[in-house]
Amino acid sequence: MKINWGTAIVIAFALFMTFILYFVFKVQSDSKYDNELVVEEYYKHDVHFQDEMARIQNAHDLTVKPIISVETDEIKIAFPADFIPKNIKGTVALYRPSSKKFDFQLPLVLSNSDLIIPKSKFIGGVWYVNMEWQYNGKSYLTKEEIYIK
């Protein structure tokens, strides 16, 4: 039986579509492939986007900004020395883009100008650090990406 080139293209196309559909169904049905959103309520989050941009601009306008550094056995968030630590209120949200189960939040409770987070709370890889904080009635939002070895 001889197959002409038109029939061969149709067969190849059908095999390719079958191959792609197999993987789509496998990923959608298998529980080990986690299909989760970065933000649970995306549209509710999007409504407050302008407010978020204003807080990011407030943080950008600071002359001395908070610094996040990855030390050997800890993550250190250093606020400017001229800030009064007890007046800084807010939260630090640390989330891992690859899996939501490792995400956690910490309140900003400072006795000095530094917040220390033990490295044992993290697994290796990329982490996003979102700090939402207020100082003297003004709101700030800082977003950074760190890498843990």
Q: Residue 132's pLDDT is what? A: 93
> Chain-centre distance of CA 107, in angstroms?
17
User: At 39, is the pLDDT very low, low, confident or very high (cuts 50, 70, 90)?
Assistant: low
Structure tokens at 44: 């509710």
Whether the full predicted model's pTM is greater than 0.75, yes or no, is: no
Termini Cα distance of the chain: 59
Q: Residue 38's pLDDT is what? A: 59
User: At 134, is the pLDDT very low, low, confident or very high (cuts 50, 70, 90)?
Assistant: very high
Counting Cβ atoms within 10 Å, is residue 36 exposed (0-12), middle (13-18) or buried (19+)?
Answer: exposed
Structure tokens at 99: 């899996």
In this structure, are residues 86 and 109 in contact, taking their beta carbons and an 8 Å threshold? no
Ramachandran sector of residue 92 (left: φ over 0; alpha: ψ -120 to 50; beta: rest): beta
